[in-house]
A and B are shown apart, each in its own frame.
Chain A
Amino acid sequence: MGKVVLVTGVARQLGGRFVRRIQRDPQVDRVVAVDAVPPEHHLGGADFIQADIRQPTIARVLAESGADTVVHMDVTGTALGSGSRTTVKETNVIGTMQLLGACQKSPNVKRLVVKSSTNVYGSAPRDPAVFTETTPPKSLPSGGFAKDAVEVEGYVRGFARRRPDVAVCVLRFANILGPTADTPLASYFSLPVLPTVFGYDPRLQFVHEDDVIDVLRIGSHEPERGTLNSGTFNIAGDGVLLLSQCSRRLGRPTVPLLLPAVTWAGSLVRTLGMSDFSPEQIRLLTHGRVVSTDQMRETLGFKPKYTTAETFADFAKSRGPGLLPPEALAGAVDRIAALPALGGGHLPTQSAN
């Protein structure tokens, strides 16, 4: 008898992709997709059940489906469509509590995968440069999605204590980017000019959507030989990009603003409801965040296909060219090099080889 996988948060692109992908795995018999709103994308052969995970109905859904694997992807920073921040927070926190309560009562559940975020580490100047899974955050996130994620992880830890027979896998994803990503950071990078914080050049790490799907699959199945897929893991592509590098590679000029101005503008934009430029987003774009992925490689046995730079290149390709495309700048430098006054006409560089 194969597995029955219950996936929450399928109305989002990432959830939909995961549902479509995991059905193709031979050990999976049936996929039950749950979300409060019907998804706009198709879900393959999965059974969609419209249920709000904030309501106790989720327990009935779980019991009736007989799911043995629960993949909780409904932990997100932004509302789908026109939801308010309160709804998002309730879905994240109350939804997780309801779902975990349902899992605790269900004798069938053998495996729980939770999509978390490296936001739980916060982002402060007094933090070590590289976070490992055990690094305690120096300044706990005070609000927003980061705090939700911290609370969600707290409930998941409690669940793992109460149900030691369930393999619990918490995946802390770095910033997810990719051609279809609809994260706050993706919308930030789509701005024509990027407002940055003057005097800070944060280090950023990205993880590609494809890798997210793959690592969620690793978490949902039996572990491969020599690996362990229960525990908490940081998931990020190799390498680091500075925000200045990102803007140059995208070809979008930056507008450095003083930190108080950025904070003020962020709260103004938030009040007007134009975009969710949250405080933790500003902190990320001020101090940056880099996580260690040793556990992901050695314990979980997952090797991301995309490095941070490749993820970003793939993302940049999917967006239009910016105001200062890197190719144009490179061409300009080449034209300077070609000026006869600089002696570029007869380059002696090759003769030295």
Chain B
Amino acid sequence: MADAKVIPFDDDRSRGSAVQRPQRRRSTGSRRKSGESALVREVQPLPGRAFAQDDVPVTREEQPPQKPQDDGGLERRIAGGLAFLRRRLTGDYEVDDFGYDEELTDQVLMSLLRPVYENYFRVEVKGVENIPSEGGALIVANHSGTLPLDGLMMQVAVHDHHPAGRHLRLLAADLVFMLPVVNELARKLGHTLACAEDAERLLGQGELVGVMPEGFKGIGKPFSERYKLQRFGRGGFVSTALRQGTPIIPCSIVGAEEIYPMIGNAKTLARLLGFPYFPLTPTFPWLGPLGAIPLPTKWTIQFGEPIPTDGYPPEAAEDPMLMFNLTDQVREQIQHTLYKLLVQRRSVFF
């Protein structure tokens, strides 16, 4: 029996990520197989029947690829796109316990984020080989930029550049899951609430988990404090990693600080809206929605050397001194890499 053939649908191929496929195929083999067989079976001409329901109430999923490369490729992509559309419309896809919709993420949401990643912020990724090809790992990154675009870009970076095609599962603030639309998209992108239970469950399943322990303190800090790491919460991420024995991978993101230079904070308005801060930038909110466009800075994402946590005894997770030491070690390493990257940077925008 032939294995499921994955129909290339997005632009992944251009980056030569051929090795990326097998992993993805393994996890979703059955579904793709059924999709394939449905495609083989169903996409036959059905002449003489009324053409009725193309005004389906789904707009986001309709992404028929429009870049012809050669004739056969185009047809195959259309067929793949239609098979995808068919699965979406009939609800014939799977999500995991966290609501992560791998198919939607791979084929639609990543394709939407990729232009921002490649053409707008021109993200340069370093040290992606520090992320293990399998098993759980906790990526700890700095957080900045008023809006959590850095997390999304880190997710694209791992998705597009890791040879094993790993998916990053981000831990997000509870605010994300209170906002309509945002919570829905976040769940479908594989994000979950930043709490020890979820993080441990994901790490236990061997997932790659991304966390930004600075939280709102990091993302909502004024422009004058850019690239100064804030306090790393209570170090809960370290005890989570220790309990699961997964390595901690420090990650430094340069460029996100300057996308919305936050020169003020309308605290009263923030309190009224229930947000932790309300940013005032040179353009926002003065220029209205136009001011919400981020500045096109040049980004660098560097994944550092993994810090192993499997050598500690099981009770180490309860040891506050060890936790603070490890937290500081991770923090120092990120801060150090940040300074190094800043020295190497030629300009904010190039």
Partners in one complex: yes
Cβ of A249 within 8 Å of any chain B Cβ, yes or no, is: yes
Q: How far is the CA of A127 from the CA of B193 in the complex (A)?
A: 8
Contact with B along A123-139 (1 / 0, CB 8 A): 00111111010010000
Closest to A132 in B: B197
Contact call B42/A197, Cβ cutoff below 8 A: no
Q: How far is the CA of A132 from the CA of B183 in the complex (A)?
A: 22
Closest to B199 in A: A128
Residues from chain A with Cβ under 8 Å of B97 in the complex: 129-130, 203, 240, 290
A126 touching B99 in the complex, CB below 8 Å, given contacts A333-B85, A334-B46, A348-B76:
no
Closest to B56 in A: A329
Within 8 A of B (CB), among A128-176: 128-130, 132, 135
Contact with B along A83-112 (1 / 0, CB 8 A): 000000000000000000000000000000
Q: How far is the CA of A240 from the CA of B100 in the complex (A)?
A: 10
Q: Which of A197, A245, A253, A347 contacts B91 (CB 8 A)?
A: A245
Contact with A along B39-67 (1 / 0, CB 8 A): 11011111101011110110000000000
Cβ of A45 within 8 Å of any chain B Cβ, yes or no, is: no
Cβ of A201 within 8 Å of any chain B Cβ, yes or no, is: yes
Residues from chain B with Cβ under 8 Å of A332 in the complex: 51-54, 56
Minimum Cβ distance to chain B for residue A151 (Å): 25
Contact call A347/B82, Cβ cutoff below 8 A: no
Q: How far is the CA of A132 from the CA of B57 in the complex (A)?
A: 36
Contact call A197/B180, Cβ cutoff below 8 A: yes
Residues from chain B with Cβ under 8 Å of A259 in the complex: 180
Contact call A200/B180, Cβ cutoff below 8 A: yes
Contact with A along B234-278 (1 / 0, CB 8 A): 000000000000000000000000000000000000000000000
A326 touching B46 in the complex, CB below 8 Å, given contacts A129-B97, A203-B99, A203-B187:
no
Q: How far is the CA of A125 from the CA of B28 in the complex (A)?
A: 28
Contact call A240/B180, Cβ cutoff below 8 A: no
Minimum Cβ distance to chain A for residue B236 (Å): 13
Contact call A347/B99, Cβ cutoff below 8 A: no
Cβ of B201 within 8 Å of any chain A Cβ, yes or no, is: yes
Within 8 A of B (CB), among A218-269: 239-242, 244-249, 253-254, 259
Closest to A201 in B: B184
Cβ of A274 within 8 Å of any chain B Cβ, yes or no, is: no
Q: How far is the CA of A29 from the CA of B184 in the complex (A)?
A: 52
Residues from chain A with Cβ under 8 Å of B197 in the complex: 128-130, 132, 135
Closest to B42 in A: A334
Q: How far is the CA of A302 from the CA of B181 in the complex (A)?
A: 37
Residues from chain A with Cβ under 8 Å of B155 in the complex: none
Q: Which of A248, A249, A338, A352 contacts B44 (CB 8 A)?
A: A338
Closest to A197 in B: B180
Q: How far is the CA of A135 from the CA of B93 in the complex (A)?
A: 29
Minimum Cβ distance to chain A for residue B275 (Å): 15
Closest to A348 in B: B72
Contact call B46/A129, Cβ cutoff below 8 A: no
Within 8 A of B (CB), among A303-353: 309, 324, 326-338, 342-345, 347-350, 352-353
Contact call B51/A245, Cβ cutoff below 8 A: no
Cβ of A288 within 8 Å of any chain B Cβ, yes or no, is: yes
Residues from chain B with Cβ under 8 Å of A345 in the complex: 45
- Our count of residue pairs bridging A and B at CB distance below 8 angstroms stands at 167
Residues from chain B with Cβ under 8 Å of A125 in the complex: 174, 177-178, 183, 193
Residues from chain A with Cβ under 8 Å of B99 in the complex: 129, 201, 203, 240, 242, 288
Q: How far is the CA of A96 from the CA of B197 in the complex (A)?
A: 32
Q: How far is the CA of A350 from the CA of B57 in the complex (A)?
A: 31
What is the size, in residues, of chain B's interface with A at 8 Å between Cβ atoms? 58
Contact call B40/A130, Cβ cutoff below 8 A: no
Contact call A350/B40, Cβ cutoff below 8 A: yes
Classify chain A: how many residues form its interface, as a range. 35 or more
Contact call A128/B198, Cβ cutoff below 8 A: yes
Cβ of B188 within 8 Å of any chain A Cβ, yes or no, is: yes
Contact call B180/A198, Cβ cutoff below 8 A: yes
Q: How far is the CA of A239 from the CA of B93 in the complex (A)?
A: 12
Contact call B53/A329, Cβ cutoff below 8 A: yes
Contact call B184/A343, Cβ cutoff below 8 A: no
Cβ of B19 within 8 Å of any chain A Cβ, yes or no, is: no
Cβ of A199 within 8 Å of any chain B Cβ, yes or no, is: yes
Contact call B78/A343, Cβ cutoff below 8 A: yes
Contact call A240/B91, Cβ cutoff below 8 A: no
Q: Which of B57, B72, B74, B181 contacts A199 (CB 8 A)?
A: B181
Q: How far is the CA of A254 from the CA of B56 in the complex (A)?
A: 12
Contact call B95/A349, Cβ cutoff below 8 A: no
* Max chain B C-beta neighbours (<10 A), residue from A128, A335, A337, A344: A337
Cβ of B69 within 8 Å of any chain A Cβ, yes or no, is: no
Contact call B79/A129, Cβ cutoff below 8 A: no
Contact call A344/B40, Cβ cutoff below 8 A: no
Residues from chain B with Cβ under 8 Å of A327 in the complex: 90
Closest to A328 in B: B53
Contact call B177/A344, Cβ cutoff below 8 A: no
Q: How far is the CA of A244 from the CA of B92 in the complex (A)?
A: 11
Q: How far is the CA of A343 from the CA of B195 in the complex (A)?
A: 50
Contact call B96/A352, Cβ cutoff below 8 A: no
Contact with B along A115-128 (1 / 0, CB 8 A): 00000000001111
Contact with A along B278-320 (1 / 0, CB 8 A): 0000000000000000000000000000000000000000000
Minimum Cβ distance to chain B for residue A22 (Å): 32
Contact call B53/A347, Cβ cutoff below 8 A: no
Contact call A129/B98, Cβ cutoff below 8 A: yes
Pull 21 A–B residue pairs with CB atoms less than 8 Å apart, ordered by A.
A125-B177, A126-B177, A128-B192, A130-B201, A199-B179, A239-B94, A245-B93, A245-B95, A290-B98, A327-B90, A328-B53, A331-B49, A332-B51, A334-B44, A334-B82, A338-B44, A343-B71, A344-B75, A348-B76, A349-B7, A349-B43
List 8 A-B pairs, minimum CB-CB distance, nearest first.
A199-B180, A248-B91, A326-B90, A128-B197, A125-B177, A338-B45, A332-B53, A199-B181
Q: A126-B177, A247-B91, A326-B92 are in contact. List 15 more A-B contacts (CB 8 A).
A: A128-B192, A129-B97, A130-B198, A199-B183, A326-B90, A327-B90, A330-B89, A333-B85, A333-B89, A334-B42, A337-B43, A344-B43, A344-B75, A344-B82, A349-B75
